[in-house]
Amino acid sequence: MAKSILIIDDDLSLRNDLKEIFECKDYEVYTAGDGKEGIECYRRITTDIVLTDIFMPDKDGLETIHEIKKEFPEAKIIAMSEIHLGNTDFLKIARYMGAKDCIRKPFAHEDIIRLVNLTLDGNGNDK
């Protein structure tokens, strides 16, 4: 049975690139352009894993992680971000909020595939 992934990111180009990458790896891929849409999608289709950006309009990634984990404590979520503001590392905050792992953008295709596989296998950098 194919594994499923939900990609939540407001960057359409990145969302489409990730969709293509994971479809080539036989994943069933769902996408959302912001946290609100992503949470609604996850409620309808509980995917095996979620990739979410941190900085998005309407509902950011931290709120998205918190809300999904509150409703679905076993959800496997990887946070993605390229922004590090001052002394605030939002990827560390994402882990605190419940993300199983994090990756800093930009990343190589091989790195995101490996991280998703490790997280699904239970070998990610869980808190």
Q: What is the pTM of this model?
A: 0.92
Distance CA 58, CA 66 (A): 15
Q: What is the pLDDT of residue 12?
A: 97
> Which residues in 85-113 are b (16+ Cβ under 10 Å) and which e?
eeeeebbebbbebbbbbbbeeeeeeeebb
Q: What is the pLDDT of residue 87?
A: 58
Q: What is the pLDDT of residue 115?
A: 97
- Across the chain, which has 127 residues, the per-10-residue mean pLDDT values are 94 97 97 97 98 93 97 97 70 93 94 96 64
Q: At what angle are helices 61-71 and 90-97 packed, to 10 degrees?
A: 10
Q: What is the pLDDT of residue 58?
A: 85
> Is there a contact between 28 and 4 (Cβ–Cβ < 8 Å)?
yes
Strand duo 101-104 + 77-81: pairing:
parallel
User: What is the maximum span of the chain, computed from C-alpha positions, in angstroms?
Assistant: 44
Domains in the chain: boundaries: 4-120
Rg (CA), the chain: 13
Tens digits of per-residue pLDDT, 19-53?
Answer: 999 999 999 999 999 999 999 999 999 999 999 99
Q: What is the pLDDT of residue 122?
A: 83
Architecture per CATH, 4-120: 3-Layer(aba) Sandwich (3.40)
